[in-house]
Amino acid sequence: MSLHIFAAIVTHHGTAANNRAETDGNITTLQKLIWHGRVHTTVSAEAIRFALRRRLAEHEETNRSWDETGPKPANTWRDPSFSKWAEGESYIDDDLLGFMSAEAAKEDGSDTATPAGVDEKAGKGKKARAKGTATIRRSPLEVTRAISLVPYGGDVTFNAASPGATPSAQKQGTNPVPYGTEVHATRFQYGLALTPGSLRKPERAKLAIEALCALGEVAGNHGRFLFDFSPESLVLRVTHDPAPRLLYVFEPKDRDVDAPTLLARAVAKDVPAGELVVGGAFSQSKTARELASLGATVVPGVREAARLACDAIERQLKEV
């Protein structure tokens, strides 16, 4: 049976704003969705993966990187055609996060003339339509969309850029440029799944866990705000069960978080408590203590929880 790693993560509490540079009039908006019948703010999985790639680059060389040194920041590639992957080599981000390279057809079949005397309706003798090519690796590390722990209350701040601060918006005169920003004071929760056996180097699974615990800024396409996206609370599951069974289990409780659904699943033995490693603020809760009594490993620190989970991953990989 394959080894699987699942995680449920809650970030620190902060004020989220302007995480993707989209506007409605002069209001910079947050992404939103309807979650359990209420409006919640959300951050895309791709934004989390983008930030994770930067952390991975601190451990190993990555194929794709973000170059901020030039006049226009842009992605740069060491191997845009993924030829090294085809030769058996692998960058850490290609291995963990997957890739897709699509090329259009060299010749558009719709522009290809049908030879004289050929029956177009019958299709006999018709030249085959040219097709494009794609080089694809499905991401072994799957990340869910992050969703705010509490509903969005509609908070908007009014701001005014000082004269000359934004020349593109300063059409004429010297008056301040007014604008508004949606803000949300919240934590975000998200989850992940990873099968080490799907990696060319299974030991990279441990690097992924360590990097996620050191995740800082996650801001999508634009980041004028600082929001600590590192885990405040963390539940890791190292298992041979292919189903996570712990995604989005956190919920707010007073000024803290709780996970009664996870406890219920552990009591029912759908999630064996012995497979769980709990760390961070949630470890101080009554629910975490009950999980510990059922066999879960519960420690105060997030990094300590990650280390213990990585030790379990290493032991089980050696047994394969």
What does DSSP say about strands 27-28 and 297-298: parallel, antiparallel, or unpaired?
Answer: unpaired
Whole-number pLDDT of residue 1: 77
Cβ neighbours of 194 (radius 10 Å): 24
Give me the mean pLDDT over the 279-287 stretch.
Answer: 97
* Alpha-carbon span 258 to 287, nearest angstrom: 7
Provide φ and ψ at 314, rounded to 5°: -60, -45
Position 153 confidence tier, pLDDT thresholds 50, 70, 90: very high
Q: What is the average per-residue pLDDT within 269-275?
A: 97
Q: Please give the helix or strand (H or E) that residue 311 lies within, else none.
A: helix 302-319
Whether 223 contacts 19, CB under 8 Å: yes
Asked whether the predicted pLDDT for residue 155 surpasses 90, the reply is: yes
Model confidence pLDDT, tens digit, residues 43-100: 999 999 999 999 999 999 999 998 888 778 888 999 998 999 989 999 999 999 999 8
Structure confidence by residue, pLDDT tens digits, 95-132: 999 998 877 766 655 544 444 444 555 555 555 666 77
Ranges assigned E (strand) in the chain = 4-11, 14-17, 23-24, 27-28, 32-35, 38-43, 64-67, 74-77, 99-103, 133-137, 141-143, 146-148, 156-161, 177-186, 188-194, 231-239, 251-253, 256-258, 276-280, 297-298
Q: Are 305 and 280 in contact (CB under 8 A)?
A: yes
What pLDDT shows up at residue 42? 93
pLDDT at 117 (0 to 100): 46
Strands (E) across 68-220 are located at 74-77, 99-103, 133-137, 141-143, 146-148, 156-161, 177-186, 188-194
- Cα atoms in the 13 Å half-sphere on the side-chain side of 217: 13
Predicted local distance difference test score (pLDDT) of residue 34: 97
- How long, in residues, is the chain? 320
Enter the pTM of the model. Answer: 0.85
The whole-chain average pLDDT of the chain stands at 86
Asked whether 284 and 300 are in contact (CB, 8 A), the reply is yes
User: pLDDT band at 236, cuts 50/70/90?
Assistant: very high
The domain spans of the chain are 4-84+139-172+182-319
Specify the pLDDT at position 114: 45
Predicted pLDDT of residue 24: 62
Strands 27-28 and 177-186: parallel
Q: Which residue has the higher pLDDT, 34 or 220?
A: 34
Provide the pLDDT confidence category of residue 184 given band limits of 50, 70 and 90: very high
